[in-house]
Structures are given as C-alpha cells and as structure tokens.
Amino acid sequence: MKVTGLAKSFSGVTAVDHIDLEVPAGRILGLIGPNGSGKTTLVNLITGVVKPDSGSVSCNGRSWTWTAPHKIAGYGVARTYQNIRLFPAMTVFENVAVAAAALGRGKWERRAAEVIEELGLDEHSDRIVGELPYGSQRRVEMARALAGRPSYLFLDEPAAGLNEDETRELGQTLTGIRDRYGCAIVLIEHDVPLVMDISDSVVALDDGAVIASGDPEAVRADESVRRAYLG
C-alpha cells in the first residue's frame, strides 16, 4: 500500500499534513505519536471514514482519493476502532459471520469458525458478545476484521484496557496473523514496548506529520521522537 500526500484540516486546524507512507505487504508497521498527532485521522482517511482534502491511496491495483468504506473493504483493507463497535446482542460467531458473509455461500461459515479459532475464541463462540470481558471483545473485533481475508489490517489501539498478560498474548496473536495469513498490519498503539517488540518498522507522527520512520530501535532513539513523545 502506498499513501501519497494525504492531507486533512478541520476548521483551519491541520490534522494530517501531506503524509507520504508505504505499508509493505505482509509486514507489521507500528504507528506511534502523542495524542492529537494525527494517527487515527490518517487511518480514517485511508479507510474512507473521512474524506481527505488532497492526496491518494493505492493498494492491490486500486487507487483512490476517497471512496466509501465498504468499497475500500472490498479492496482488501480492514480495520478496528478505538471504541469497540460490535453487535452486543449477537453471539461471537454471529458477529464474525456478518463480515465473513461477503465471501459468499459455502465459505462464510468455515471462515468465521477459522478466525474464531485463530483468535482463541472457540469457547466463547456461542456467547453473547456484550457479556464478554473487554479483552475478549477486542479479540472478537479483530476476528471480524479478519473474516473477509484482508491483505491490510489497521488496528487502532487494540491493547487499550488490556492487562500485561493480555497484551503479551495480543502481540503473539498479531505476529501469528502476519505469519499465517501474510496480512500486513498497521498497529496504532500507545504501548511502546508492544510496538517495538513486534513491528518490522515504525512511523512516528507529530502535529500531523511524519517525524521519523524506519527500524524500531532507530525510531526509538530518534531525538525528535524522544522530544515529542517518548520523553
């Protein structure tokens, strides 16, 4: 995936400032930065939730400035949100099956079961999602995003609210997704140790612009990143 010159302002305030970005296929890219640095807005622009002022995205032979989110999902791009957006009165299986249904008759049921197993949710498959603990709901959201077999998966703070053990399991799950499915993952996350541990590369944002990118350790050591975010 290639992002070229994406820009967005809200009421004269620049949220994303002509960002260029490449997401290598089959790799994990960590996206870090302070609150308000433009991380979520950037993902919203890429996935069609927000219309950019300028710039474009190209992926899997498609190119767009802006189009509807469901069309972008059809191009092989899936995402989760900071705030969980599940169907709370439906079961785990039903939530995942909704997304898997796009694969067509004869495939959706098998795919839903597959990703539920991959995310370690087998024992919860028939439970109502709204009754599950927060960490399990996060996993259901990831399972639903994976159900359509995306080639690019954007995760917006998936470790938020998780304890240390759950965060460690999340890291193992994400590397397993990359290795098993060859799915590129863009990880927006404030848990810097998690990002640095599992990412193949890291991009740091501040004030809507890229201030550093490259190897995780190089980005961690970058003076501008330390000044703006890491302290």
- Regarding whether 130 and 20 lie in a shared domain, the answer is no
Nearest CA among 136, 188, 144, 125 for reference residue 166: 136
For the entire predicted model, the pTM comes to 0.92
112-121 pLDDT, tens digit each: 999 999 888 9
Write out the H or E segment, with its range, that includes residue 211. strand 209-214
- Regarding whether 155 and 226 lie in a shared domain, the answer is yes
49-99 pLDDT, tens digit each: 999 999 999 999 999 999 999 999 999 999 999 888 899 999 999 999 988
Distance CA 76, CA 150 (A): 4
| Domain end (from 148, 172, 196) | 148
- Regarding whether 183 and 208 lie in a shared domain, the answer is yes
Number of domains into which the chain is organized: 2
8 Å CB contact between 59 and 42: no
* pLDDT (0 to 100) of residue 105: 65
Q: Is the pLDDT of residue 190 over 90?
A: yes
